[in-house]
């Protein structure tokens, strides 16, 4: 073989090695909360495509069952449980079931969150405030606490919390949501420091406005609260984006996949904005 042919052969082998079919999460076990729709569903489907077995939590079993069917088409095992992440007993029960089914938990994605009210602080009810922080923030604490003993024992693991750019700025009329997402960033950074010695990586992904039904509800609520036309509300969000377009659910899922993969083994305690250049 002459030198040119040898060079081409080596280059081809290298390219195939870099772009081959090896899956990023082959044989790993992930728990994903809020997995029945939206970003959580996209994360679950991408993880299955990349070789993970899954335990999915959510408030509606019918949504979870639909995701499970798609995952099983990818020849991956999937356990689904209806659960409220703000309920410690339910969270512990799901984690115990996952360990019994799969033997371990390698990855936790804390995605569950509720939309909450759109209203000024002066008119917020204590019930609305408490419920949003219970699901969006305390739920992540409870899920992390439940999986940590196994991760610490095996001295490895990944925890990815879904925060928001709303957790990095003032967000009038959406204070419980913003506070919960601010808190999730503090939780991420603190936990990363506590468990780094066990080779556990903890990071957060902060989406900007994500195109879809949830964002439509956010804009609709803001229009009703302020009396502004829905088109004006949408323009306000788009004008705050350097790219002039909303993020796609798949964009967030791909960042979560990266952080869950071996490629991110030396990244911890960080917040990754997937936000189309949101002007913070």
Q: Which of 14, 171, 177, 278 is catalytic?
A: 177
Contact 177, 132 (CB under 8 A): yes
Helices (H), 82-212: 88-102, 126-133, 139-154, 175-195
Rounded alpha-carbon distances, angstroms, from residue 161 to 12, 137, 186, 197, 201: 38, 10, 11, 19, 11
What is the rounded CA–CA span in Å between residue 114 and residue 133? 9
Residue (of 179, 48, 165, 169) closest to 109 by Cα position? 48
What is the rounded CA–CA span in Å between residue 135 and residue 113? 6
What is the rounded CA–CA span in Å between residue 272 and residue 278? 12
| DSSP H or E stretch at residue 105 | none
Contact 97, 81 (CB under 8 A): yes
Rounded alpha-carbon distances, angstroms, from residue 84 to 75, 137, 238: 28, 13, 33
DSSP letter assigned to residue 261: S
Q: What are phi and psi of 124, to 5 degrees?
A: -75, 145
Q: What is the chain's length?
A: 280
> Is-catalytic flag, 14?
no
Sequence-distant (≥ 6) Cβ neighbours of residue 239 within 8 angstroms:
none
Residue (of 221, 101, 128, 113) closest to 161 by Cα position? 113
Residues annotated as catalytic are 177
């Amino acid at each position: 073989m002459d030198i040119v042919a040898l060079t081409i052969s080596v280059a081809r082998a290298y390219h195939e090695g870099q772009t081959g079919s090896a899956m990023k999460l082959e044989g790993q076990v992930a728990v994903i909360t809020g997995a029945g729709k939206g970003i959580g569903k996209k994360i679950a489907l991408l993880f299955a495509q990349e070789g993970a077995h899954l335990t999915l939590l959510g408030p509606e079993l019918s949504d979870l069952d639909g995701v499970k069917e798609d995952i099983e088409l990818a020849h991956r095992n999937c356990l689904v449980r209806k659960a409220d992440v703000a309920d410690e007993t339910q969270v512990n029960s799901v984690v115990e079931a996952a360990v019994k089914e799969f033997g371990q938990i390698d990855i936790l994605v804390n995605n569950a969150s509720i939309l909450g009210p759109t209203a000024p602080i002066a008119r917020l009810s204590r019930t609305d405030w408490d419920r949003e922080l219970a699901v969006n923030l305390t739920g992540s604490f409870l899920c992390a606490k439940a999986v940590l003993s196994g991760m610490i024992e095996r001295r490895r693991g990944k925890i990815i919390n879904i925060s928001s750019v709303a957790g990095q700025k003032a967000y009038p009329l959406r204070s419980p949501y913003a506070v919960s997402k601010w808190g999730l960033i503090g939780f991420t950074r603190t936990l990363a420091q506590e468990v780094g010695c066990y080779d556990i990586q903890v990071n957060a992904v902060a989406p900007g406005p994500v195109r879809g039904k949830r964002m439509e509800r956010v804009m609709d609520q803001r229009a009703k609260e302020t009396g502004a036309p829905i088109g004006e509300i949408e323009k306000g969000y788009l004008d705050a984006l350097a790219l002039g377009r909303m993020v796609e659910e798949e964009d967030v899922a791909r960042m979560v996949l990266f952080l869950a993969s071996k490629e991110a083994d030396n990244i911890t305690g960080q917040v990754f904005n997937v936000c189309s250049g949101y002007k913070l």
